[in-house]
Amino acid sequence: MPNLAFAGLADGGWRDLAFEPFRDGVTVHWLLRGGPVEPSVAVLKYQPSASVPRHRHAGLETIVVLDGIQSDENGNYPAGSVILNPVGTEHSVWTDGGCVVLIQWDLPVIILGDTK
């Protein structure tokens, strides 16, 4: 497989992507869709007040906030923030006003429950 390049993504190019349903209030555009033991990379678009329930990371998760503010129990992350969630860490995610993130999962997360 050749390498994949996405010009202008961080400068608003994500607005031209086609999104599909992912979770309630969250849509996804897959840049690289892995599997149960392969990494995945996607752009997630959260509607205002959307959230993801508490989950545990089985592999490293890397997030770059492209637009808006994403929040978890550790803080609020505005556009330009980079968040690393190492193996074994847990959190829930939400946004008050909506946000867009570039996200990479080494392995799928394990959903634990719905707490905010």
Give 19-113's CATH code, choosing from 2.60.120.10, 1.10.468.10, 3.40.50.2300, 3.40.50.300: 2.60.120.10
Query: Where exactly are the structural domains of the chain?
Result: 19-113
Q: DSSP string covering 22-54, please?
A: EETTEEEEEEE---TTS-EEEEEEEPTT-EEEE
Tens digit of pLDDT at every position of the chain (116 positions): 679 899 999 999 999 999 999 999 999 999 999 888 889 999 999 999 999 999 999 999 999 999 999 999 999 999 999 999 999 999 999 999 999 999 999 998 999 975 44
